[in-house]
Amino acid sequence: MKTIKTSILPTHPQHVKVRAPHELDKKAICIFAATSYFLGTDTYWKDEKVLPPGTINTIDDEGYWVDSKPWFEWYYKPRDISFDQAVSEFTVLFHTICKEQAGDRTVLLPLSGGLDSRTQAVAYSKLNNPVISYSYSFHNGYKEGGISSKIAKELGYEYRDMTIPNGYLWDNVDELAKLLKYGTEFTHPRQMAVIDEFRKMDGVFTLGHWGDVLFDAVAPKDLAEEDAEEWILKKIIVKGGQELAEALWKEWELEGEFMEYLRQRTKEIWKGLKIDDIGAKARAYYSSTRAVRWTNLGFAIFEATNPIEAPYYDNRMAEFICGIPEEYLADRKIQIAYLKNQSPEVAKITWQAQRPYNLYDYHKNKVPHNLPYRIVDKAKRVVNAKMGKPLIQRNWELQFLGMENDEKLQGHLFDKNLHPFLPKELITRFYNKFSTDDRVKYSHPLSMLLTLAVWYKNEVRS
């Protein structure tokens, strides 16, 4: 017998075998199709699971998962501390984690126009690590580098600007699928487009994922316990996902109704969280599901080229959060205060989510203050669209639109050997809805069908 202890927020899913029939877990796949990630310990197979976070697990001598006991359960016990004290404690903890993780290595820092990577950028300026920073933007998309480069310049960091090109997915789809372990759809991890640039770097990637969930309000203030479960369902089902899941459920002739099954599964997780405060409970729900079955999967792309670290995934950060009043966590208050305290000049640089405002004046991002910017911004988009350069806002636009992309997409989707797993009629129906009905709504079902098709071809049919 051996034991495996999983962290509160694992950076890697750990797959294990269980004693069960080697059959497709089609109900689990339907949830995957609706939400773009597997729930709980689910995988494609009934005899394969992923170890739950925050647990100590027993594995027998033949490598089978025997049992699991929690060593950590999410809680909410806000301490009686001032806001300034909370910021001070965060500062010490964050710097400690960042330094321990990076050591004396060169930090490879993805910079965006948001707050999570900005906090890391400022932290490493205090810790004296050499930093290579970079940012990437969609071809014909919003230029995040316009903000990122200013942060890098202010802190004296080397900076590299990268572009996510049209149609990059098709030359990388099989490698990407294996790195992600087929655990989410392929159009979201845009870092795959620049993996060759990553291979030219030498250092440790430090990733800012999940800071925006830990350090912000997750649920509406007025959300009642009796309404929370339905709210969770609306939040986790991707647009078009329910329709695809129900179509697969019907095609595979599964017992019961898909939505009742999903409601039952999410209810079990929600009820298992022994937290009274709805906001803290919602954060715990997301942190024990999405953070460990979706967000962390993309880490593998970075890790294929260099070691990775993730400060906000550190156990100490999760435990710290459980003792901080929700009022302090809401609206990114702690991160904003940290940035103002540690680097006022970086805090003055535009916050992308509140552009054109920064961390000192973002409260002005409302009518009438923001009208001039919104009018000019829209005018630019209209002019560019008329010039044949529409603004690219979503990754799937670079992969699915245009004749060459469409040819590659159809080549994967309409492989004759997908039947009966993915019947041609079902694929055709969703492909046509994407093509002629609503591209935004049906981009997700199309991306999920692509993911399932590549998985079936590589892992089942082969």
Question: pLDDT tens digits, residue range 86-115?
Answer: 999 999 999 999 999 999 999 999 999 899
Determine the Cα–Cα distance for residues 169 and 408; give it in Å rounded to an integer.
Answer: 10
pLDDT mean over 16-35: 97
Between 371 and 248, residue with greater pLDDT: 248
- pLDDT score at 389: 60
- pLDDT score at 388: 54
Lowest model confidence (mean pLDDT) among 85-94, 360-369, 386-395: 386-395
- pLDDT score at 369: 64
Confidence of residue 83 (pLDDT cuts 50, 70, 90): very high
pLDDT mean over 19-30: 97
Structure tokens at 33: 């199709």
Burial class (CB within 10 angstroms; exposed 0-12, middle 13-18, buried 19+) of 398? buried
pLDDT mean over 436-445: 94
Answer yes or no: is pLDDT of 455 > 60: yes
Most confident stretch, 182-191, 391-400, 449-458: 449-458
- pLDDT score at 382: 47
Answer yes or no: is pLDDT of 67 > 70: yes
- pLDDT score at 377: 54
Rounded to 5°, the CA angle 295-356-286 comes to: 20
Determine the Cα–Cα distance for residues 340 and 366; give it in Å rounded to an integer.
Answer: 22
Query: Are 380 and 398 in contact, with CB atoms under 8 Å apart?
Result: no
Confidence of residue 367 (pLDDT cuts 50, 70, 90): confident
Confidence of residue 142 (pLDDT cuts 50, 70, 90): low
* Amino acid at the residue 251: E
- CB within 8 A of 203, min separation 6: which ones? 105, 106, 107, 108, 130, 132, 306
Given phi > 0 = left and psi -120 to 50 = alpha, else beta, which region is 189? beta
pLDDT mean over 190-213: 94
* Amino acid at the residue 166: N
Between 369 and 325, residue with greater pLDDT: 325
Confidence of residue 396 (pLDDT cuts 50, 70, 90): confident
pLDDT mean over 119-142: 88
Q: In what order do the strands lie in the sheet with 55-59?
A: 2-5, 55-59, 65-70
Residue boundaries of the structural domains of the chain: 83-215+292-353, 371-461
Query: Are 156 and 345 in contact, with CB atoms under 8 Å apart?
Result: no
The angle, 0 to 180 degrees and rounded to 10, between the axes of the packed helices 241-251 and 439-455 is 50
**How many C-beta atoms surround the C-beta of residue 166 within 10 A?**
18
DSSP bridge partners of 57: 4, 68
- pLDDT score at 151: 97
Question: Distances from the Cα of 232 to the Cαs of 180, 219, 295, in angstroms?
Answer: 25, 9, 17
Answer yes or no: is pLDDT of 240 > 90: yes
- pLDDT score at 371: 58
Answer yes or no: is pLDDT of 173 > 50: yes
Confidence of residue 163 (pLDDT cuts 50, 70, 90): confident
- pLDDT score at 387: 52
Mean pLDDT estimate for the chain: 92
Answer yes or no: is pLDDT of 452 > 70: yes
Confidence of residue 386 (pLDDT cuts 50, 70, 90): low
* Concatenated DSSP letters of 54-92: TEEEEE-TTSBEEEEEES--------S--HHHHHHHHHH
- pLDDT score at 391: 58
pLDDT mean over 329-336: 97
Confidence of residue 343 (pLDDT cuts 50, 70, 90): very high
Helix then strand then coil, in percent of the chain rounded to 5, is 55, 10, 35
Structure tokens at 99: 């330094």
Confidence of residue 453 (pLDDT cuts 50, 70, 90): very high
Answer yes or no: is pLDDT of 139 > 80: no
**Among the CATH numbers 3.40.50.300, 3.40.640.10, 3.40.50.2300, 3.40.50.620, which is that of 83-215+292-353?**
3.40.50.620
